[in-house]
A and B are shown apart, each in its own frame.
Chain A
Amino acid sequence: MPDILSYPFFQRALLGALIIGFTNGCFSAYVVLKRSALVAGSLSHALLPGIAGGILVAGALTPWSAFLGALIAALLVVLGSLAVARSSRLDQGTSLAVIFTIAFAAGLIMLKYVPVQVKLEDYLFGDILNISTTDLWVTFGIAVVTLGSITALQRPILLTLFEPSVAAAQGVPVRALNYLIMTLLVLVMISSLQAVGCILALGLVVAPGATVFLLTNSTRAMVWGGGLLGALGAAGGMGIAHWGDFRPGAVITVLLGAAFLLAFFFGPRSGFFRRAS
Chain B
Amino acid sequence: MSPPPPAAHCHHCAHHHQLHVNGLSVAYQKTEALSDISFSTSCGNTVALIGPNGAGKSTLLKAIAGLVPRRSGSIQWRGAKVSQWHREFAYLPQREDVDWSFPVTVRGLVEMGRYSQLGWWRRWRPIDQSQVSQALASMHLEGLEHRQISELSGGQQQRAFIARALAQEAHVLMLDEPFNGLDRPARENLSALLRQQAAAGRLVIASHHDLNTVGELFDEVLLLNRRPIAFGPVAEVFTEKNLALAYA
Interface of A is mostly: helix
Does B23 reach chain A (CB closer than 8 Å)?
no
Contact with A along B194-232 (1 / 0, CB 8 A): 000000000000000000000000000000000000000
Provide the B88-119 mask, 1 if CB < 8 A to any CB of A, else 0.
01010100001100111100100010011011
Chain A 216-242 interface residues, beta-carbon cutoff 8 Å to B: 216-219, 221-222
B148 and A217 form a contact (CB under 8 A): yes
Report if A1 contacts B (CB, 8 A).
Answer: no
Contact A159 B66 (CB under 8 A): no
A257 at the A/B interface (Cβ < 8 Å)? Answer: no
Q: Which residue of A lies closest to B148 (CB)?
A: A217
C-alpha spacing A163/B65, complex, angstroms: 14
* Residues of chain A in range 90-113 having any CB-CB distance to chain B below 8 Å: none
As a 0/1 sequence over residues 156 to 200 of chain A, the CB contacts with chain B under 8 angstroms (1 = contact) are 101101110110111100000000000000000000000000000
Contact assessment for B91 and A155 in the assembled complex, using a CB-CB cutoff below 8 Å: no
- How far apart sit A166 and B62, CA to CA, in the bound complex (Å)? 9
Q: Is the CB of A218 within 8 A of B105?
A: yes
Q: What is the bound-complex CA distance between A222 and B102, given in angstroms? A: 11
**Which of chain B's residues have a CB closer than 8 A to the CB of A170?**
86-87, 116
- The CA-CA distance from A153 to B115 in the complex, in Å, is 12
Residues in B with CB closer than 8 Å to A159 are 112, 115
Which B residues are within 8 Å of any A CB, using their own CB?
62, 65-67, 86-87, 89, 91, 93, 98-99, 102-105, 108, 112, 115-116, 118-121, 146-148
Instruction: For the complex formed, measure the closest distance between the CB of A213 and the CB atoms of chain B, giving whole angstroms.
Output: 6
Q: Given that A158-B112, A171-B86, A218-B108 are contacting pairs, would A33 and B102 also be in contact in the complex, using a CB cutoff of 8 Å?
A: yes
Q: Is the CB of B91 within 8 A of A169?
A: yes
**Interface contact tally, CB-CB below 8 A:** 60
Chain B residues within 8 Å of A217, by CB? 103-105, 108, 146-148
The residue on A at minimum CB distance from B108 is A218
Smallest distance from the beta carbon of A181 to chain B beta carbons, Å? Answer: 15
Contacts of A118 in B (CB 8 A): none
CB distance from A64 to the nearest CB of B (A): 30
Most buried by A among B86, B103, B112, B120: B103
Contact between A218 and B67, CB atoms less than 8 A apart: no
Q: Are A153 and B120 in contact (CB under 8 A)?
A: yes
A155 touches B103 (CB 8 A): no
The answer to whether A162 touches B102 (Cβ under 8 A) is yes
| Candidate in B86, B99, B112, B148 with the most chain A CB atoms within 10 angstroms | B112
- In the complex, the answer to whether B86 meets A216 with C-beta atoms within 8 Å is no
Inter-chain contacts of A158 with B (CB < 8 A): 112
With A163-B93, A218-B108, A219-B103 as known contacts, state yes or no: A168 contacts B120, CB within 8 Å. no
A169 — nearest CB in chain B belongs to which residue? Answer: B66
Q: Is the CB of A169 within 8 A of B86?
A: yes
Q: Could you write out 16 A-B pairs with CB less than 8 Å apart?
A: A155-B115, A155-B118, A155-B119, A155-B120, A156-B115, A158-B112, A159-B112, A162-B99, A162-B112, A163-B99, A166-B67, A166-B91, A169-B65, A169-B66, A170-B86, A171-B116
Report if A152 contacts B (CB, 8 A): yes
Contact A169 B67 (CB under 8 A): yes
Assess whether B104 is in contact with A219, with CB atoms less than 8 Å apart.
yes
In Å, the complex CA distance between A155 and B86 comes to 17
Measured CB to CB, the nearest residue on chain A to B104 is A219
Measured between C-beta atoms, what is the minimum distance from B244 to chain A in Å? 34
Residue of A nearest to B89 (CB): A169
Given A169-B66, A169-B67 in contact, is the A156-B120 Cβ separation under 8 Å? yes
Interface residues of A in 52-86 (CB under 8 A from B): none
A residues within 8 A CB of B119?
155
CB atoms of B93 and A216 under 8 A apart = no
CA distance A160 to B133 in the complex (A): 24
Nearest A-chain residue to B147, judged by Cβ: A217
Measured between beta carbons, the chain A residues less than 8 angstroms from B108 are: 217-219
Name the residue on B nearest A221 (C-beta): B103
